[in-house]
Chains A and B, each alone.
Chain A
Amino acid sequence: MIAENTQTQMRKGILEYCILSIISRGEIYASDIIAELKKAQLLVVEGTLYPLLTRLKNNGLLSYTWKESSSGPPRKYYQITAEGQAVLSRLDITWKELVFAVEISMQGRKD
């Protein structure tokens, strides 16, 4: 139970970071983000993404534009804002610190 809880917390923590980095690569559609996240085995269901995207957008880290789709309804394409970019670079640093911290703490472990 504790393990599960920690796992989800860890995933949850990096999910936003991953989403930001995926979007920072360029304009992207929500279902493509999901495809990427699935590839990375971070996200299983799509429904979880929308609240996150909305929250990031409301915090000014993301913006979106409507684009016509050849098949079906118009789509929302997300892009990162300058603020989001700043947050992302700060998170990059944090991530590197974390990786360092984890590596240090894992050193000398037998398995």
Chain B
Amino acid sequence: MNKTIIININSIVFHIEEDAYDTLRSYMIDIKKHFGNTAESKEILEDIENRIAEMFNERIQTGRKEVINLEDVQQVIQQMGRVSDFEESEGAAGGEDFHHERQAGQAPHIEYVGKKLMRDPDDKMVGGVCSGLAHYFGMEPIWTRVLLVVFVLLGGSGVLVYIILWIVMPAAETRADKMAMRGEAPNLQNFKRSFDEEAKNLSETFSGTGEHISRSARTAGNVLSGCLGLIGKMIAWIMLIFAGLNLLGLFIFYVFNMMNFFGLENPMFFPPLKGLSTNDGIIALTFGFLAIAIPFFALFFWLTRILFKTDKLNSYLSLTMFAAWIVSIVGIIYYCIATAQDFREKSTINVQKDIQPQAIYNFAEKDIRVLDASEQDSLQSKFNVQLDGQDLRNYLHRDISIYFESIDSLSQPYIQYSYSAKGRTYQLASERAHNIAYEAIQESSTFLFPSHFLLMKNALDRDQQVRVTVYLPRGARVRLQRSIEPKVRDISYWECLNNYPEEARQQQKYTEWTMSGAGLVCIQKPQPTPKEEEEEAVESKMKALLNEIKDRKDSVIRIGDSDVTIEVKDNSVRINTKKQEKN
């Protein structure tokens, strides 16, 4: 079975076998070079081509022999004569015309034949890229391979380079390609040599397979390459699994994130996407997915190609993928810049609300995510109507901080809300700040701070913040519920809580503070530590004892169970031990 090529000589179509075509092509190239590039030579070449067509035509017998094979071409060349034959007959002619012609004809011979960068399928480890590069730069393939391994080890850049080169470099499949790859002029002599070599290799392979195997087992180099091949295969398998899992993960990530955009709520949401509107988010997510998935896909496909010897990817498809990858990278960069721009300006809006003076100001948090049937008409219902129980995560923000400041003791207490947001322009930022809905609710003496704030009109996440400052007159009593603790800044709730007796701490739902000139101060004094208590007890006992001694005129103090007594008598002290008494 042979591959045939269809050629057209002088408007006649011939089917020609591949190797026959290569021979014919290099023959024609030789002839063209010989005759040079003049109007005259063009005519000569036409004549020769015509004659070849005619000779081919004579050889074709419809139904029996419809394809020109190598033998036909060789016979035709024999008949037409090789360039060396032409030279022989012309060389001695000595005519001026011929002299001129030969010069013109010689020029292409001297001309440097440029090498072509192609993959070498005959000498390949993986895709023949390294050996192709080695041919191109005229070095041993081992050095390009070592270089590649170094690049792979240095951050893996070699893998990407290799894949790109594999896609870009065509394989040297035909003999003419291989000669172009080695930089040999595609003339008949070289061609014949290449063909002979190949034939020799082929016969060797056929005749001495067994010998070949034993020889390869003997040479250390081959054993080494075999080991390297095995290790390479294992690495390839590991990388294949890695790339496959990555692709799968990326795909799941992509699908679930997409579902979020299309209203199917799920917990897998990539936070930076919150900064983009739905439409932009879909595009950016797709770009991001492609930018990461395409290299993994290329790696995956490349590895399957090595391991399972599957076909090469269609070059249009690979080019399309490459283009898509570039576009995705550019797209992501665009979105990054555009989004970053949208954080450039910051705008803050301050709103003041007076509050009624209270004997005790009670502050608590209200978790608006918890629904309470008895509070249908309160703030929560407002949220519920808007959110309809869905998409809460996209609308609720919790960047809320609460500060307490003191004012003159007779002033009217008030709460200041600072809403801030960012945007590309100041105006945009202030618009966004306007869209923040947040306010405390007063229930008798208790001020309830909602746990989250709302962004109206589907506003994008642009670093929206709410800062609440409660201005209270000096001396005011404040009770902070434990629930509000995460939002309170500047004061330490826990330090104050630690001042309460240990047994009560668990039950203690609030801490009490008073407003001083420098802010809130914990009312509860620190609890004495157990060691201090003990010392105190000892001290008071001693005091009592001394007082007792002072009151009496004389007394005997017996210390503990020991036999030592202290006798105080008429301004003199005597210390007795039992031993002394006995003596």
Residue of A nearest to B95 (CB): A12
Contact B11 A73 (CB under 8 A): yes
A11 located at the interface, meaning its Cβ lies under 8 Å from any Cβ of chain B in the complex: yes
Contact A54 B47 (CB under 8 A): yes
What residues of chain A lie closer than 8 Å to B31, measured between beta carbons? 47
Convert B82-94 into 0s and 1s, putting 1 for each residue whose CB lies closer than 8 angstroms to a CB of A.
Answer: 1001101111111
- Bound-state CA distance A54–B35 (Å) is 12
Contact B40 A48 (CB under 8 A): no
Contact A12 B89 (CB under 8 A): yes
Contact A45 B80 (CB under 8 A): yes
B10 located at the interface, meaning its Cβ lies under 8 Å from any Cβ of chain A in the complex: yes
Contact B85 A47 (CB under 8 A): yes
Convert B7-45 into 0s and 1s, putting 1 for each residue whose CB lies closer than 8 angstroms to a CB of A.
Answer: 000111000000000000000000100010000100110
Give the segment of B50-58, B193-201, B276-284 that binds chain A: B50-58
Residue of A nearest to B88 (CB): A8
A108 located at the interface, meaning its Cβ lies under 8 Å from any Cβ of chain B in the complex: no
> In the assembled complex, how far is the CB of residue A76 from the closest CB belonging to chain B, in whole angstroms?
7
Instruction: Report how many A-B pairs have Cβ atoms within 8 Å.
Output: 85
Contact A73 B53 (CB under 8 A): yes
Contact A44 B91 (CB under 8 A): no
Residue of B nearest to A9 (CB): B92
B81 located at the interface, meaning its Cβ lies under 8 Å from any Cβ of chain A in the complex: yes
B48 located at the interface, meaning its Cβ lies under 8 Å from any Cβ of chain A in the complex: yes
What residues of chain B lie closer than 8 Å to A107, measured between beta carbons? none
What residues of chain B lie closer than 8 Å to A76, measured between beta carbons? 47, 50
Convert A53-89 into 0s and 1s, putting 1 for each residue whose CB lies closer than 8 angstroms to a CB of B.
Answer: 1110010000000000101110110000000000000
> In the assembled complex, how far is the CB of residue B224 from the closest CB belonging to chain A, in whole angstroms?
52
- Bound-state CA distance A58–B97 (Å) is 12
Contact B12 A73 (CB under 8 A): yes
What residues of chain A lie closer than 8 Å to B57, measured between beta carbons? 71-73
Question: If the complex has contacts A46-B80, A47-B31, A73-B12, are A8 and B92 also in contact, measured as CB distance less than 8 A?
Answer: yes
A5 located at the interface, meaning its Cβ lies under 8 Å from any Cβ of chain B in the complex: yes
Convert A1-26 into 0s and 1s, putting 1 for each residue whose CB lies closer than 8 angstroms to a CB of B.
Answer: 00011111101100100000000000
What residues of chain A lie closer than 8 Å to B40, measured between beta carbons? 51, 54-55, 58
What residues of chain B lie closer than 8 Å to A46, measured between beta carbons? 51, 79-81
> In the assembled complex, how far is the CB of residue B320 from the closest CB belonging to chain A, in whole angstroms?
43
Convert B475-493 into 0s and 1s, putting 1 for each residue whose CB lies closer than 8 angstroms to a CB of A.
Answer: 0000000000000000000
A28 located at the interface, meaning its Cβ lies under 8 Å from any Cβ of chain B in the complex: no
> In the assembled complex, how far is the CB of residue B63 from the closest CB belonging to chain A, in whole angstroms?
16
Contact B86 A73 (CB under 8 A): no
What residues of chain B lie closer than 8 Å to A45, measured between beta carbons? 78-82, 85-86
Contact of A9 among B79, B80, B93 (CB under 8 A): B93
Contact A48 B44 (CB under 8 A): no
> In the assembled complex, how far is the CB of residue A102 from the closest CB belonging to chain B, in whole angstroms?
19
What residues of chain A lie closer than 8 Å to B93, measured between beta carbons? 8-9, 12
What residues of chain A lie closer than 8 Å to B85, measured between beta carbons? 44-45, 47-48
Residues of B within 8 A of A (CB): 10-12, 31, 35, 40, 43-44, 47-48, 50-51, 53-54, 57-58, 78-82, 85-86, 88-94, 97, 101
Identify 9 residue pairs between A and B in the complex whose beta-carbon atoms are under 8 Å apart, listed by A's number: A45-B78, A45-B85, A47-B80, A47-B81, A48-B86, A51-B35, A51-B40, A51-B90, A58-B40
Residues of A within 8 A of B (CB): 4-9, 11-12, 15, 30-31, 43-48, 50-51, 53-55, 58, 69, 71-73, 75-76
Other contacts beyond A45-B82, A73-B11, A73-B53: 14, CB < 8 A = A7-B92, A8-B91, A8-B92, A9-B94, A45-B79, A45-B86, A46-B51, A48-B90, A50-B44, A51-B86, A51-B101, A72-B58, A73-B50, A76-B47
